[in-house]
Amino acid sequence: MASRKAAASGIVAPMVDIYIDGDACPVKAEVERVAARHGLTVFLVSNGGLRPSANPLFRHVTVEDGPDAADDWIAEHIGANDIAITADIPLAARCLAKGARVLGPGGKPFTPDRIGLALGMRDLQRHLREATPGGQTYNASFGSKDRSRFLGALENEIQTAKRATAR
């Protein structure tokens, strides 16, 4: 369901949209800056509680409470060559199946040839957490190097998606 914009020639060409799985996304501000520079629409999908952006290209979508409601909305609306920003591996797999591009908040792209391994590792890690007394896990901090890596990766994904939609 990629948005459409009229080109100078009067031909309506498909454009790239960005979908953010917003409840736990640490790079919303970075996506907003890059999308504004490219004139791209961003759908920030969450269960609520996020501060709305004044940017007219940002569309805030609040879904009802429930497991995977935001994921379901994104998977239903995303189209080929759109870009999803998520750390959710099952959502990444659903978006890839629709021909979308998927980028994790740390700048790592999910790709069709690596998503199976990512899903398997996710299941293994869940099993290990369940087997560990107290279920403790390690979460590395998210810093400026991660943000920088994400910005470069997002720019690359946008350029690649624009080239693909221009064909």
Q: Which domain covers residue 12, as residue numbers?
A: 4-166
Number of domains composing the chain: 1
Amino acid at the residue 143: G
**Residue 14, domain CATH:** 3.40.50
Rounded-to-integer distance, Cα 13 and Cα 166, Å: 8
List the pLDDT tens digit at each of the 167 positions of the chain.
444 443 344 444 458 999 999 877 899 999 999 999 999 999 999 988 777 888 899 999 999 888 889 999 999 999 999 999 998 889 999 999 999 999 998 898 988 787 655 556 555 566 566 677 765 555 567 888 999 999 999 999 999 999 988 87
- CA distances for 107 relative to 27, 86, 123, 136, 152, angstroms: 10, 10, 22, 25, 8
Residue 117's pLDDT is what? 58
